[in-house]
Structure 1
Amino acid sequence: MGLASAAMALTALAALAGTGAADAAPSGTESLYAPSALVLGVTAGDNAREGTVLRAVTLVCAPRPSGTHPNPAAACSELLAAAGQADTITAGGAGAMCSKEWDPVTVTADGVWQGKRFSYDHTFGNRCALRNGSGALFAF
Structure 2
Amino acid sequence: MQPMTRWAMTGALLTTAVAGPLSTPAHSAPASLYAPSALVLTTGHGENAAAAAPERAVTVNCAYATSGTHPDPRQACADLDRVNGDLDRLATLRANDTGRFCTKEYRPIVVTVQGVWRGTRVNYEHTFANSCIKETQAASVFAF
> Which among 133, 136, 139 is matched to residue 140 of structure 2?
136
Which residue does the alignment assign to 2:10?
none
In 1, the alpha carbon distance for the partners of 2:93 and 2:108 equals: 17
Distance 1:91 1:52, change over 3 A: farther
Runs (4 or more) in structure 1 with deviation over 6 Å come to: none
Does residue 42 of structure 1 match 2:43? yes
Q: How far is the alpha carbon of 1:35 from its aligned partner?
A: 0.3
Higher strand share: 1
In 2, the alpha carbon distance for the partners of 1:71 and 1:124 equals: 21
**Which stretches in structure 2 are left out of the alignment for 5+ residues?**
1-30
Q: TM-score if structure 1 supplies the norm length?
A: 0.73
Q: TM-score if structure 2 supplies the norm length?
A: 0.71
Higher helix share: 2
**2:124 partner letter:** Y
Which residue does the alignment assign to 2:20?
none
> Which among 126, 133, 137 is matched to residue 130 of structure 2?
126
Which residue does the alignment assign to 2:72?
71
**Which stretches in structure 1 are left out of the alignment for 5+ residues?**
1-29
Mark the structure with the bigger radius of gyration.
Answer: 1
> Which among 78, 100, 108 is matched to residue 104 of structure 1?
108
Q: Is the 1:105–1:126 Cα contact (8 Å) retained in structure 2?
A: yes
Which residue does the alignment assign to 1:114?
118
Q: How far is the alpha carbon of 1:90 from its aligned partner?
A: 3.6
Q: Is the 1:93–1:129 Cα contact (8 Å) retained in structure 2?
A: no
What is the aligned length?
111
User: Pairwise CA RMSD of aligned residues?
Assistant: 1.8
